[in-house]
Chains A and B, each alone.
Chain A
Amino acid sequence: EAGVVQSPRYKIIEKKQPVAFWCNPISGHNTLYWYLQNLGQGPELLIRYENEEAVDDSQLPKDRFSAERLKGVDSTLKIQPAELGDSAVYLCASSAIGQTYNEQFFGPGTRLTVL
């Protein structure tokens, strides 16, 4: 079974440029999460989708960040414009609905460097 796929794995851009990250969750997983992981820190939730609905985006900086999951499968996270402080790893995770606890499966992440 394929895991969570993310691309690109690495991205280097100059500040003020736009950037987008893509995530394809495990087949059949209804819930998709985007996390931000700063260097030396644990992941922090940015947004959670259940199917195509964003059910928790309270931590997403909406002035420059946006996300979509149009068909309830893969998802895109965008930053426009990027700032130096956005340099971090962006993790995507997915889980299935219908269990007492739904284990989250993580992708390898996209490491963003803003110059």
Chain B
Amino acid sequence: AQSVTQLGSHVSVSEGALVLLRCNYSSSVPPYLFWYVQYPNQGLQLLLKYTSAATLVKGINGFEAEFKKSETSFHLTKPSAHMSDAAEYFCAVSDQTGANNLFFGTGTRLTVIP
């Protein structure tokens, strides 16, 4: 079974500061890992994904995440926050069986302070 835990339901950063959103996963098999972003009243948009290639994954809008097997983590970072980054961020895990079912965390709401 797969699951993810997102530490911190709310994160606030100043504009221009580092963004760090935490995600730890649990999986009995090699996982695929994802970060999605959700803006108000919109669906989820894929930011980036880890599918067992490079452990450092770069996504859209300047975000990146690093897969660390020893720590079972897949934290999302961005060097400099922008006001437009304010949104809800979800970490998700899938197995590699081909079923492609996603298991989401509870989300982290990012606030960017001007």
Contacts and interface: CB of A to CB of B under 8 A. Distances in A.
A31 B44 CA distance: 17
B33 to A, nearest CB: 11
Contacts, number: 52
Contacts of A40: 9, 106-107
Interface string B82-114: 000000001010100001111011110000000
Give the dominant DSSP class at B's interface.
loop
B106 to A, nearest CB: 5
Dominant SS at the A interface? loop
Given A102-B100, A104-B100, A91 B44 contact: yes
B100 A106 contact: no
Contact of B41 (A45, A103, A108): A108
Given A100-B51, A101-B49, A101-B94, A43 B44 contact: yes
Interface size bracket, B side: 20 to 34
A26 B103 CA distance: 22
A107 interface: yes
A101 B46 CA distance: 13
Nearest to A95: B100
Interface string A36-51: 0000111111001000
B45 interface: yes
B54 to A, nearest CB: 14
The range of chain A's interface size is 20 to 34
Interface in B60-80: none
A108 B51 contact: no
B107 A42 contact: yes
Contact of B104 (A31, A43, A101, A111): A43
Given A95-B100, A101-B32, A101-B94, 16 more contacts: A40-B107, A42-B106, A43-B102, A44-B104, A45-B101, A45-B102, A56-B99, A91-B43, A101-B100, A103-B49, A104-B100, A106-B44, A107-B43, A108-B41, A108-B42, A111-B41
